[in-house]
Amino acid sequence: MAWRQLLLVACFSATVLLCMLQEGTGASVGTGQGAGQEAQEGVGQKIFMQESDASNFLKKRGKRSPKSRDEVNAENRQKLRADELRREYHEEQRNEFENFVEEQNDEQEERNREAIEQWRQWHYDGLYPSYLYNRHHI
């Protein structure tokens, strides 16, 4: 039962506070009720827009109605920019992969060259060129 009384007191105090604030806005100007009305209208002019502007602002193009030339141009610019970014990204990825493959091939060729050089040094029999038919068979 006590929580109901507490809720009732809180609601009543909020209502009294709102009424005091509403009366205070009219009296805060200090020159009278007419000046308060003019001040409120000035604030209303700043906050709210004209009805025609509001209807144009809120009016939406239907899904089936044709797009304006500006909308089409803007969409085309967005698509072209996205295509350009995608092309640049793929070109960069391709260049990186080509560089990686080239480095791998160079390393493999170097390993093969070293292995062949070692094999030639190991099997060198004093004759040049060291083909099998030049080798001395014991």
120-124: long-range pairs with CB below 8 Å, 24+: none
In a domain, 129, yes or no: yes
Domain count, the chain: 1
Strands (E), 31-106: none
Tokens of 135: 């080798």
Is 94 among the domain residues? Answer: yes
What would the pLDDT profile of 12-43 be if each residue is shown by its tens digit?
A: 888 888 877 777 655 545 455 555 566 666 65
Q: Is residue 29 part of a domain?
A: no
Specify if 36 maps to a domain.
Answer: no
- Asked if residue 3 is part of any domain, the answer here is no
Q: Yes or no: say if 109 and 101 are a contact pair by the CB < 8 Å rule.
A: no
In a domain, 76, yes or no: yes
Domain around 88: 68-137
Regarding pTM above 0.75, the answer is: no
